[in-house]
A and B are shown apart, each in its own frame.
Chain A
Amino acid sequence: MIVATSLRKAFGKLRAVDDITFSVSPGECFGILGPNGAGKTTTIRMLFGFTPKSAGRLQLFGLDIDQHLRQVKARIGVCPQENNLDPDLSVRQNLEMYARYFDIPPPLARRRADQLLSFIALEHRQNARIGELSGGMLRRLVLARALINEPELLILDEPTTGLDPQSRHQLWNRVEALKARGLTVLLTTHYMDEAARLCDRLMIVDQGKILVEGTPLQLIHDHVGAEIIEVASPNADLRAFVDRSGTPYEDLGHRLIIYASGGAEYYHTLSREFCQSGCMLRPATLEDVFLRLTGRELRE
């Protein structure tokens, strides 16, 4: 579906995307994770030709993007990072006019708008102006707009950033329904729970380079193990014990993160002998992988 080979984007001296190679199969949900400025949006924008690539090869649906940009764009749905809905038009008009940009004839555009309005549960607001909608409604409308051409590939750039938990779950449900229909999805996100829930496979990028790639479970298994012990305000004895045991850990000063793949046994020893309180054994998550690989310092 997508084959990107040594894809690069340079803005002057900065390599926002630095020779990355990845591919996405039909029906798959593929995630791109990475800190702010990692190059996620830039990668996505190259996929639909918004940003011309500096080097590398890019094939979508078996077509080279350099020669077939228009055909490729006709088969993609894009949900951009910032809502760029048309504020001069109503909710329904946003969908119908967007369909016209794809050269979809008006009667069909109307039918698809009907279906999509019910899919995103916005029929009752179909005549509202864009400015009257809440953040969650806007995001759902952007999703519907991305589906107006019945794309084979759906690109979602941070679909749920800034939404409340209800709206996030609503959006996830919609995306899962689309996945079930066999739609290929490419997704970027800062939320690890979102990635773990939606993505079949993902890659973590930083400074334009791919750090790792794999299924969420496999990445957790390979990079942090199944379980994590977190210790709040560790004392010197505990530090010495962990050090001696050779278990990998991270020292955040007031907090220890121990990658204890050994699990229960180790935890019991630790909590019996050193922890008065503030010791916690929990399953490892994608967030642990992310922080371990990309570091804990602020970006930019």
Chain B
Amino acid sequence: MNRRPVSPRLPTRRLLRVWQRNWLVYRQTWLISFLPPLLEPCFYLLAFGIGLAQMVGPVISSAGTISYTAFIAPALVAINIMQSAFFETTYASFVRMYYQKTFAAMLATPLTLEEIITGEILWGATKAVIGSALMLIVISCFGLFHFPSALLLLPAALLGGLAFACAGMVFTAIVPAIETFNLPVFLFITPMFLFSGTFFPLDNLPAWAQFVAQLLPLTHVVELCRAAGLGHPLPATAPALAYLTLWCLILFPLALIAMRRRLIH
């Protein structure tokens, strides 16, 4: 069969139109969208910071000794980055793609599939940034962040958000049905939530587990957030930055290719 090679088309700035569509919808429900990142850190800080902190005492690590509450505060932002971006490009993008046929409608306009998918990924990362900004405000009210370095949480949220948005989009391109997302959530998101240096230092784990943790993207996002939030020296974050950049460089093209295979017949 004489099949033309399907050329991958590089997205242009038109992808912002797709981003704008999601932004328009988001603005209409901003009150509901704003609540989780505002309330979630309060719940966690109350439960862990006040309830649990009295039992565990301060956290002693190479970077010094800090209260348990200060230890988990940046990790809460990291978890939010992961969840906002990942859930946006999995469940939310899947609904738009599969049930609402939004991508199909866009494909009849000058937009290309690559622009649509890139716009969605960028939107997922944007939600991570918005959530982080809100959490930054709340957690700062508890006096747990170091300024001005805590402002670096925003670029960290962008990078981390892109990483998880790309990962989510790869799953969206391959799952047969929306229920299948339970699998990556259970096998990928939940273990990371617990074992990425979020609620206890990685040093507490056996060596092999520390090694596995280093392979998980959330570990590196936590690393970045902790450095920004607590004002640790920045050069130490180079490996985390490199890891997340590489992750995006691999998963972004993968998401585009997988989506083209799914949608273009």
Name A's B-contacting residues (CB within 8 A): 10-11, 48-52, 54-55, 66, 70-71, 73-74, 76, 78, 80, 82, 84-89, 93, 97-98, 100-103, 149
A101 near B2: Cβ-Cβ < 8 Å: no
Whole-angstrom distance between the alpha carbons of A166 and B111 in the complex?
35
Number of A-B residue pairs having CB atoms within 8 Å of each other in the complex: 71
Distance to closest chain B CB from A74 (angstroms): 5
Contacting residue for B2 out of A11, A54, A70, CB 8 A: A54
Total number of B residues with any Cβ neighbor in A under 8 Å: 25
Using Cβ atoms and an 8 Å threshold, which residues of chain A touch B25?
88-89
**Given A54-B1, A80-B104, A93 and B110 touching (CB < 8 A)?**
no
Whole-angstrom distance between the alpha carbons of A52 and B112 in the complex?
13
Taken residue by residue from 87 to 116, chain B's Cβ proximity to chain A (1 for < 8 Å, 0 otherwise) reads as: 000000000000011101111111110000
**Given A11-B265, A51-B265, A66-B4, A101 and B101 touching (CB < 8 A)?**
no
Name B's A-contacting residues (CB within 8 A): 1-4, 6, 14, 17, 20-21, 24-25, 100-102, 104-112, 264-265
Whole-angstrom distance between the alpha carbons of A49 and B265 in the complex?
10
Q: Besides A98-B109, A101-B111, 16 other CB < 8 A contacts?
A: A49-B107, A50-B108, A51-B264, A54-B3, A66-B4, A74-B110, A76-B108, A78-B108, A82-B101, A84-B102, A89-B24, A97-B20, A101-B109, A102-B109, A102-B110, A103-B110
Q: List 17 A-B contacts (CB under 8 A).
A: A48-B107, A50-B104, A50-B264, A51-B265, A54-B2, A55-B1, A70-B112, A74-B110, A85-B105, A86-B21, A88-B25, A89-B24, A89-B25, A98-B109, A101-B17, A101-B106, A102-B109
Distance to closest chain A CB from B2 (angstroms): 5
**Given A66-B4, A100-B17, A84 and B109 touching (CB < 8 A)?**
no
Q: Which residue of B lies closest to A84 (CB)?
A: B101
Whole-angstrom distance between the alpha carbons of A54 and B5 in the complex?
10
B107 near A50: Cβ-Cβ < 8 Å: yes
Distance to closest chain A CB from B12 (angstroms): 9
Using Cβ atoms and an 8 Å threshold, which residues of chain B touch A88?
25, 100
Most B-side CB within 10 Å, residue of A48, A55, A97: A97
Distance to closest chain A CB from B28 (angstroms): 8
Using Cβ atoms and an 8 Å threshold, which residues of chain A touch B108?
48, 50, 73, 76, 78, 80
Does more than half of chain B's interface fall in helix, strand or loop, or is it mixed?
A: loop
Whole-angstrom distance between the alpha carbons of A52 and B260 in the complex?
11
Does more than half of chain A's interface fall in helix, strand or loop, or is it mixed?
A: loop
Whole-angstrom distance between the alpha carbons of A150 and B3 in the complex?
33
A103 near B105: Cβ-Cβ < 8 Å: no
Q: Which residue of A lies closest to B101 (CB)?
A: A84
Using Cβ atoms and an 8 Å threshold, which residues of chain A touch B107?
48-50
Using Cβ atoms and an 8 Å threshold, which residues of chain A touch B105?
80, 84-86, 98
Using Cβ atoms and an 8 Å threshold, which residues of chain A touch B3?
54
Q: Which residue of B lies closest to A12 (CB)?
A: B1
Whole-angstrom distance between the alpha carbons of A149 and B110 in the complex?
11
**Given A52-B6, A54-B3, A66-B4, A86 and B111 touching (CB < 8 A)?**
no
Using Cβ atoms and an 8 Å threshold, which residues of chain B touch A52?
4, 6, 264
Most A-side CB within 10 Å, residue of B1, B6, B104, B109: B109
B111 near A93: Cβ-Cβ < 8 Å: no
Contacting residue for B100 out of A66, A84, A103, CB 8 A: A84
Contacting residue for B1 out of A10, A50, A73, A93, CB 8 A: A10
Whole-angstrom distance between the alpha carbons of A102 and B1 in the complex?
34
Q: Which residue of B lies closest to A155 (CB)?
A: B108
Whole-angstrom distance between the alpha carbons of A109 and B24 in the complex?
15
Distance to closest chain A CB from B218 (angstroms): 30
Whole-angstrom distance between the alpha carbons of A49 and B21 in the complex?
22
Using Cβ atoms and an 8 Å threshold, which residues of chain B touch A10?
1
**Given A70-B112, A88-B25, A55 and B2 touching (CB < 8 A)?**
yes
Whole-angstrom distance between the alpha carbons of A76 and B101 in the complex?
19
Using Cβ atoms and an 8 Å threshold, which residues of chain B touch A48?
107-108
Whole-angstrom distance between the alpha carbons of A102 and B107 in the complex?
11
Whole-angstrom distance between the alpha carbons of A103 and B6 in the complex?
25
Using Cβ atoms and an 8 Å threshold, which residues of chain B touch A71?
110
Whole-angstrom distance between the alpha carbons of A51 and B109 in the complex?
14
Whole-angstrom distance between the alpha carbons of A82 and B100 in the complex?
11
Distance to closest chain B CB from A286 (angstroms): 29
Most B-side CB within 10 Å, residue of A10, A93, A100, A101: A101
Q: Which residue of A lies closest to B7 (CB)?
A: A66
Using Cβ atoms and an 8 Å threshold, which residues of chain B touch A103?
14, 17, 110
Distance to closest chain B CB from A65 (angstroms): 11
In the complex, the 8 A-B pairs of residues with the closest C-beta atoms, listed nearest first: A84-B101, A101-B109, A78-B108, A84-B105, A88-B25, A74-B110, A70-B110, A73-B110
